[in-house]
Every structure is written in structure tokens, then in C-alpha cells.
Structure 1
């Protein structure tokens, strides 16, 4: 389908003016694109606009809110919306990377996921890479020359932004993992084996003597015994290694106020309600656990018909509520 015609159809659909035939054409287009990767190639002048239109179409078509009491979030929607946002970020990646290059040079960061709530913590690094910390884990990030370096104690899922001139090195236990841009999980608790699992991209794993012990591609894993200096490399289903990520982002009939408190701890923000009638709304949701704060808020807001604003570390939620 031509891009200009596609945008016209999506606009008509969102305005509630599409005919049954046009809805069918749009649905066929969506189904075809759902089977493809998250990045779509097009000659349209504004590729980002096309991706955003697709996201809006999916929001309206696949997320159903049940009023007045319980709001349910669609897992398939969340995964697709995340893929769409990945597409948008890649399309606009040049601008983000240029901004990141300036921010990353003098940046240092320390973060930990407290154990008292048994919850994971989402961390945005100065270079726009993201880290999801398992409860009780700690990271220390710093820039040394042109190298982005991070020390991990515990377990974390990384989604590293590609910066060709700034390799990313993770020190975990007695193992060093080097990447340019990829997504992977590392488990490195004191006194235990170090496990590296790759979901996207390519990583190089070396021991403390800088000897490369493995080069991993998607759905590959290495378990390294740091005492015996032995390794076991295997093919895996990588997504199974990060099931821990979604543990505290799946909830049933949870009051919005309680969920807001959880989001505050997870994303290190202060979430406030402008309309207190929202606080008691019950929400049932299934997130993957690797979503950004903005994607989570957008999903919740579009599902519930509410709004949100982000100002630094403060998030304000507003809407009519569910009473």
C-alpha cells in the first residue's frame, strides 16, 4: 500500500470515518506488517510520522478498557507498541546519538535495586542505554576515554545504544562483556558462575586476563565457572532468561494508587494524581518488564482515557476516574 494512501486511511480510521472496506484494507496492512521486523522501510518524507500513525491505530484497535471499574491491558499490544517505539527510536537515532555523545563524556552514575520491596528497577544511562536491575543488584557506570564502562553486581538486562566510537564494556565477576549495541542479560552474583545471554545483536565475552572466551549471537548463552575457568556455551530461548523482568509488572485488580507507587520506585520518579478519583481505579495488566516509563504511562493513559505529563522527575496523572 502506498504511504500517502496509508496515512489517509489511518486518519479516517482514527476519526471514525473509515468504511468497512477501508477498515478491512487497513487490517490487512497491519497483519502483514505485524509479521515483519520493528523497522519499516518507506520512501515517505516522514517515516517517524508513519510509525506513530501505526502505533495510534494499534492503540485504538487492540486495547480495550473496561469501565467503570477494571481496566485491562493487552499483552500483545504492549509488545507491538514497544516494537513500534523501537522503530521510532531507530529512525530518529542519529539525533539521539549526537545528543548522547555530548552527555556521555562526563557522565557517572550509580544505581541499585533495593531488596525491601523485592522489585526490579529501570535505569536510564546518560548515553540513553537502558538497564533493568534485578532486586538487590547494583551498577556503577562511568566514561573512561572513549569507552563506556559499567560494573555489575547481581543480575541485569541491558539494552545498549549503538555508538560505534564508544564501545560499551561491562565488568561482572571475573568476566568482561564488550558490545557496541545490543540487548542481553548478565547474571553475576558473588561466588557464583557468570551467565551471559543474548537476545539481540552480538557480544564478546572475555575473562579477567582479557582472553576472549566466547562470541555470542542472539539466542546464545555462555555460563563461565570463574573458579575452574571453564565455560559452557549453548543455544537457548533468550527471552526465557529474562522472565524475572516482568515479575512486578504483572498485576490483577491493583488500585492505580498502588501501581503508581510501584512505578515511582521502579523508575525513580514522583507520581502524583491531579484527580484523586483515579487512585481507586482497579487495573489488570501484563507488561514485559523492559518498557520505558513513557511507554507504560502511554499504555495506561490510552487504556483508561486519562492523561499524563512528565516534568523532570515528576509525573502527574489526570482524568475523569472510574466512579
Structure 2
């Protein structure tokens, strides 16, 4: 494969525009380049971590509108390149209905994730999530803390595994906290869930109820909750005072894994004050910002373009 062709395929991977045939062509080049089909086997978590590291670098530099050079990729370790290809190959991941997400503990923003089944997840920094669909069940393995807004699919139960505790959902919103192997906290904000412990004891939770499992002593505590208190962490990165629109856009880039660009550069300096719950989708956030700031937006793949004439108001 000549350099121009390779550069083109790499750019298409980054832009999420590569066809299945082009994806296979680049994957075949990688195998030929290394001389082995899989020279550095990696776990799903390692693949996702490597992919996220490179994706963060590429996102930070894509506004320069420079085509990534072949030297950038040639300088990477083969294991990291494999991780990039697997991570950036989102269309194939969605088709297979599997997804791995790892959020570094040092991240300053929570991460909003759309699952292949249209469920929405807000993942706390330092958390890991592995989503799998086996044809019958939608299953998630979670380490850390996450807010779930589960798409209702009665024929395919949504099961969240946290240590020795499993939570079965048909369609609801809930928060799960499992930072260590001893304690799991399940809080229901809407709908109904069934929580099963290691001894097959089942607890049914309805809105505004919480159960705390001590997996070491098998102690169970069920209490009433105030939902806003349980998911207070979700809004920690969505409260801002007189923040320049450009700085907010950078936060949204990281939170929703997109690239926001300004058609009118003057908008970058507009001050914004806002308070969101933190569980809103990107479209919901952009709708509110557009109505308040008198701006418009368009989304093409993972690129969001903002446009407008002036700053005339702020969020109350």
C-alpha cells in the first residue's frame, strides 16, 4: 500500500467515514505491517484505554486541519496502534452491539455515552464499563459509578453486574455505585428493578428507593432516597459561571466525545452561565444553549458546528 492510500484510510478512520471494505483494508495492512495477526494480545480494557489515549490526542489537534502524518502512526507501538484501530472502529462496534469504556480517574469531566441499544450512560471518572449483547440479554459489567437511562426492550433484559450483585432492568433510570468489592449501592430514580445478591436473594426497588449491599457480610439495607442527592455528582462538570463559550465547548468535547467548531469565531468569547442536571444528552444541552444565546448548531457525525451573530443573553 502506498503512502497516499494509507494516509487516506487513516484519515477516514479518524473521521468515522471509512467503509467496511476500507476498514478491512487498513486492518489487513496492519497485520501485514507487523507480520502477525495479533502480536500483542490485549484485553478489552487495555484496547479501550489505548484507543482513548490516542483519540484524545487526535481530538485536541484536529482543529488545526492538518492531516496526521504517517510518521505519527509509525512511531506508535504496535499494541497502541491496534488499540486505536479497534477503538476508532465505532460502526463495527455498534453493529456487534458491544462496547468498552474506561474513564481515567484524573478526567475533569464525566463521560456521556450512548450504548448501541440507545440506552444512555453517564460514567464517573475512574470508572470502567463493559457492555455486551448476546442475542438475549443486554449485559453490563461496571466498576465505579454510573447513571443509567435504560431503553425499554422487554424481550432483552438489561442486566448490570457489579461484583456478586446483579441488577435487572426493563426500562428505567438508576444510579449504581460500586467502587470496591465490599459494597454496592443501587438507587432507582424511575421504573422498577430487581437486584439479586450472591445468595440469590432478590430485592425489588421502585422510584426513590435504594439498596446497599455489603458483599462481605451479606448485609442488606433498603432506604428511601432523594434522587437529586444521589446523582449530585452528575452535574459537577455542568455548572459554570461566566465561562467563555470556547472553554465550555472544550468541556463538552470531552464529555460527549465530539469536536465542536465555531463558524463565527466571535462566539468563542461569549460568557455563559449555566446549571444543568448533568444527565442531559448533547442535543438537549445544545438546544438550551442555542435558545439562550440566540445561536444555531448542526451535527455531522462527531462534529458539531455552532453559528450565531452575537452574544445577547446568558443562562439564568
Q: TM-score range by the shorter chain?
A: 0.5 to 0.7
1:13 aligned partner = none
The one of the two structures with greater contact order (alpha-carbon pairs below 8 A, sep at least 6) is: 1
For residues 1-323 of structure 1, the aligned pairs below 5 Å read 106-209=96-199, 211-322=200-311
Query: Structure 1 runs of 4+ off > 3 angstroms?
Result: none
Deviation at 1:104? 7.3
CA distance in 2 between partners of 1:223 and 1:164 (Å): 26
CA distance in 1 between partners of 2:216 and 2:182 (Å): 9
CA distance in 2 between partners of 1:178 and 1:136 (Å): 24
Contact 1:199 1:239 (8 Å CA) reproduced: no
5+ unaligned residues in a row in structure 1: which ranges? 1-102
Instruction: Give the number of aligned pairs.
Output: 220
Q: What is the SS of the residue equivalent to 1:279?
A: helix
Q: What TM-score comes out, normalization by structure 1 length?
A: 0.66
Q: Can you list the C-alpha shifts for 1:90-126, whole angstroms capped at 9, x where unaligned?
A: xxxxxxxxxxxxx977311011223333321100001
> Cα RMSD between the aligned structures?
1.6
CA distance in 2 between partners of 1:199 and 1:152 (Å): 19
CA distance in 2 between partners of 1:228 and 1:196 (Å): 17
Q: What TM-score comes out, normalization by structure 2 length?
A: 0.67
Deviation at 1:270? 0.7
Deviation at 1:236? 1.5
CA distance in 1 between partners of 2:159 and 2:220 (Å): 20
CA distance in 1 between partners of 2:117 and 2:297 (Å): 25
When structure 1 is superposed on structure 2, of 221-230 and 234-243 the one drifting more is 234-243
